[in-house]
Amino acid sequence: NQPGNPATRGGYAVGYDLVNQAIAMPLPPARRAVLLVLADMANHAGTCWPSISTLARRACMSVRSVFTH
C-alpha cells in the first residue's frame, strides 16, 4: 500500500466486502445510506466510530434523520 494511493486508508487497503454486504441488504434507502457510510469508514477489522454529524454529512441527510435511521 502506498500512502498516496486513494485505495488505501491508514495503511490498509480499503476492503469493499462491507460495502458490498451493505448494498445487498434489503433496507430502505435512508438506512442503506447510513450503513454504506459506516461500511465505507470501517477499518480492516470492520470498526469505526464516526460522529453523528459526520454520518449526516456523508449520507447527505440531517442529524435528526441519522438518529431515525
Q: How many CA atoms lie within 13 A of 24 on its CB side?
A: 6
For the cut 60, the answer to whether the pLDDT of residue 7 exceeds it is no
Cell of 52: 453523528
pTM (2 d.p.): 0.74
Cell of 68: 431515525
Residue range 26-63, pLDDT digits in tens: 999 999 999 999 999 998 888 999 999 999 999 999 99
Q: How many distinct helices (H) and strands (E) make up the chain?
A: 4, 2
